[in-house]
Amino acid sequence: MLEKGSQAPDFTLNDKDGNPVSLSDFKGKRVVLYFYPKDNTPGCTRQACAFAGAYERFREKDIAVIGVSRDSVASHVKFAEKYSLPFVLLSDPELKAIEAYGVWQEKRNYGKVSMGVVRTTFIIDENGVIEAVMPKVKPDTNAAEVLELLALN
């Protein structure tokens, strides 16, 4: 997994509307980049809704919020519409950004071992340097912790 102080790898992925979005598009802005396992699952829904609830505070400070998962563009459309998610959701079915950020890891669930996305949030500064890494975050508290870390609460 990437560490604080390292350069955030650039990537280009499609958003929910099928438009290519690159991390470098946000140069000059702080970015909250969060990786999550799957649209419309209980934890991921709570996490996305918490970011949506805090979105205005991020927007006021010109901070971009970007969610990334392996889900398809079509899945992201339904997820964003169902929960009125105002921020960017990117589709990474080929694991380009997911692997570049080191969040594709072995997971254990009820004794079963499999590979999957470890829920992780990165805060990236205006120059593309990772300011903070928040591994294995809890869906219910992640947005509040990010606000606190950025002193936006």
Residue 70 in contact with residue 64, Cβ under 8 Å? no
Catalytic residues: 44
pLDDT for 60-107, tens place per residue? 999 999 999 999 999 999 999 999 999 999 999 999 999 999 999 998
Torsion on CA atoms 149, 134, 136, 32, rounded to nearest 10? 80
The token pair at 30 is 């702080």
For residue 142, the model assigns a pLDDT of 97
For residue 110, the model assigns a pLDDT of 87
Average pLDDT for residues 138-146, to the nearest whole number? 96
Give the predicted TM-score (pTM) of the model. 0.96
Predicted confidence band at 151 (pLDDT cuts at 50, 70, 90)? confident
Rounded CA-CA distance 55/46 in Å is: 14
Predicted confidence (pLDDT) at residue 152 exceeds the cutoff of 80: no
Predicted confidence (pLDDT) at residue 35 exceeds the cutoff of 80: yes
Predicted confidence (pLDDT) at residue 15 exceeds the cutoff of 80: yes
Please calculate the CA angle 124-129-45 and round it to the nearest 5 degrees: 25
**Domain map of the chain by residue range?**
29-149
**Domain covering 29-149 assigned CATH 3.40.630.10 in the classification:** no
Average pLDDT for residues 37-48, to the nearest whole number? 97
Predicted confidence (pLDDT) at residue 47 exceeds the cutoff of 60: yes
% the chain with pLDDT above 70: 99
Average pLDDT for residues 127-138, to the nearest whole number? 96
